[in-house]
Amino acid sequence: MNVIDLRSDTVTKPTAKMREVIFNAEVGDDIYGEDPSINELEAYSAELFGKEAALFVTSGTQGNTLAILSQTQPGNEVIVESNAHIFWYEGGAACAIGGVQLHPVPGTRGVMTGADVEARIRPKGNVHFPQTALVCLENTHNRAGGTYWSLDQVKEVKDVADKHGLKVHMDGARIFNASVATGTPVKEYAKYVDTVQFCLSKGLGAPVGSVLVGPKETIQKARFWRKRLGGAMRQAGIIASAGLYALQHHIDRLEDDHKLAKKLALGLKNLGLDVDPDSVKTNMVMLRFADCDRLLAKLKEKGILAGLSVPGVIRFVTHLDITEEDIDTTIKTIAELI
């Protein structure tokens, strides 16, 4: 059975072209700084984001964790939006490894205002309070359903952070989706944050890896932490080459994923289901449904996979391996099942 896998954009398989690039990748020992494919990916990423340096890391979780470890001290506080991936899904890494406390701040569809952030910054000089060191923004925002931050919204938080001497990290696992949807170059977003983590293995379609970009000194600290955590790899140009290929060939096509997500949302809405097509900003569709488990199980029997986002909400994610025909089949199948 041909499976239509809409659980996540992480499920993509390398394309034939990408496999060719992997096959031919030049490699070396990256811990000696001698892997040409990794060096090229890091240089390309730094340039793309207008930052001094970049570090190839194993995953989005590792990139976010290194960003926190290299910009905080144990006992500091880190402001995150209350539905942030860092808060929900990273195994408490920031706390367990970095010894920092996460301070969740409710946002609107994943976005915090400058005032939201400022209200939670701890006053200095009072022995009761931990010291706030870092603010993390998620763009696009996963649990909020692929919503993006506008550049002005990022600037607003950056202004508050500057006023209070805080650093800003962007969890840009899907920043290219945000960039394509808003028309804002990633370099522009990166101007208003200190570090950005972006994933190569989500919408971009590479099999493994993320990149952390930022100032040289911060990336040097992150490199140290990556080694300490066992994340420094040797001939990893094999996978980095796929990441570079993805950056060079798979960004503009994210637009197609966004169109298909919109099409799916409209199709489900036309069936009378509880979906708001206007809320579909990038490649995710959120369907509120009374008995999610049953619908997910029925869909699975028909070869269609989706996931539970939060209780009562099914999430469908479009990506490189999803065609318009797959979306038509999904809508038709759901029509038959409900």
Ligand X SMILES: Cc1ncc(COP(=O)(O)O)c(C=O)c1O
Least separation in angstroms between CB 304 and ligand X: 20
Shortest spacing between CB 165 and ligand X, in angstroms: 26
CB-based closest residue to ligand X: 60
Say whether the peptide bond before residue 140 is cis (omega within 30 degrees of 0): yes
Q: Which residue number, 64 or 132, has a Cβ lying nearer to ligand X?
A: 64
Question: Which C-beta is closer to ligand X: that of 48 or that of 211?
Answer: 211
Total residues found in the chain within this entry: 338
Closest separation in Å from C-beta 10 to ligand X: 6
Cβ-count burial 3-14 (b if 16+ within 10 Å, e if not): ebbbbbbbbbeb
Which among 118, 110, 119 is positioned nearest to 82, based on CA atoms?
A: 110
Among left, alpha and beta (phi > 0; psi -120 to 50; other), residue 183 is left
Between 100 and 334, CB nearer to ligand X: 100
CB of 7 to ligand X, least distance (A): 11
- Of 21 and 137, CB closest to ligand X: 137
Interface with ligand X (CB under 6 A):
59-61, 64, 85, 138, 142, 171, 173, 199, 210
Give the relative orientation of helices 216-228 and 60-69 as an angle to the nearest 10 degrees: 120
Least CB distance from residue 128 to ligand X, whole Å? 32
For ligand X, the closer of residues 42 and 81 by Cβ is: 81
**Residue-by-residue DSSP string for 37-81:** HHHHHHHHHHHHHT-SEEEEES-HHHHHHHHHHTT--TT-EEEEE
Distance of alpha carbon 248 from alpha carbon 44, whole angstroms: 10
